[in-house]
Amino acid sequence: MNSYDIIISMGHMCGQTKVKVLNILDGEGLYMAKNSKLTTAILVLIPVAVGINYAGKLFASALKLPLWLDSIGTMLSAVLAGPIVGAISGAINNIIYGLTTDPVSFVYALTSIGIGVSVGFLAKGKMFNNAFRTLLSGLIVALVATVISVPINVVFWGGQTGNVWGDALFAFLQSKNVGIWVSSFFDEIVVDLVDKVLCVFITFGIFKALPKTLVYTFRGEE
């Protein structure tokens, strides 16, 4: 006997008004409760994602790695809750950077939004189901981040990224009279390929380690 049958049976005993009330609770009421739970989970996920981004950035800085590692939380939130949540997490991350460290970080929120959106859609397309697809996802995300970041780098930093590896390549290409846009592209992509692929695989590892019940909570699945 399903919930609707139970409602009908109770209706025969308690009257038609009771049937209507219980039917609303069984349908719309449970739907609203489920979505309230999901919203609460997402509200918790976003600050956690921002914290993970911060931790990754601090870890890279402490070890003086020529990487950023500041998008793991953005990617994880996008894989768990979709592209919109990923974009919000990424944007908030850069807003905080802009308020606390460097105002130019505000502009790079566009890159973080691009990362969150692309990872969210890749996850929906089952591109995080195995290691090979995850590698492809990392390459795609690296390209997205590069395409968005290069114009920002050219406008604000003369084409450079502030990364040791990338800027060394930029200087070499400039010495060979390569155009600033091409030089800036290679400056960015040489770093993003390593950084984003590594971040994607870390995200993949965390995602696979999470309890399925927790994943279902964020995704609204049963």
Q: Can you give the residue ranges of every domain in the chain? A: 51-219
Mean pLDDT on 82-99: 95
pTM: 0.83
Q: How confident is the model at residue 218 (pLDDT cuts 50, 70, 90)?
A: confident
In sequence order, the 6+-apart residues with CB closer than 8 A to the CB of 79 are 86, 119, 120, 123, 128, 203, 207
pLDDT surpassing 60 at residue 24: no
Mean of per-residue pLDDT scores for the chain: 85
Question: C-alpha distances in angstroms, 149 versus 114, 145, 157, 160, 168?
Answer: 10, 6, 11, 10, 18
pLDDT surpassing 80 at residue 15: no
Closest listed residue to residue 122, CA positions, set 162, 182, 75, 56: 75
CATH class held by domain 51-219: mainly alpha
User: Percent of the chain scored above 70 by pLDDT?
Assistant: 82
Helix axes 180-209, 131-157, angle to 10 degrees: 140
- Secondary structure of 25-81 as H, E, C letters: HHHHHHHHHHHHHHHHHHHHHHHHHHHHHHHHHHHHHHCCCCCCCCCHHHHHHHHHH
Residue 101 gets which letter from DSSP? T
Mean pLDDT on 21-27: 38
Closest listed residue to residue 168, CA positions, set 152, 191, 150, 148: 191
pLDDT tens-digit profile of 126-183? 999 999 999 999 999 999 999 999 999 999 999 999 999 999 999 999 999 999 999 9
Query: What confidence score (pLDDT) does residue 33 get?
Result: 38
Query: What confidence score (pLDDT) does residue 219 get?
Result: 81
pLDDT tens-digit profile of 203-217? 999 999 999 999 988
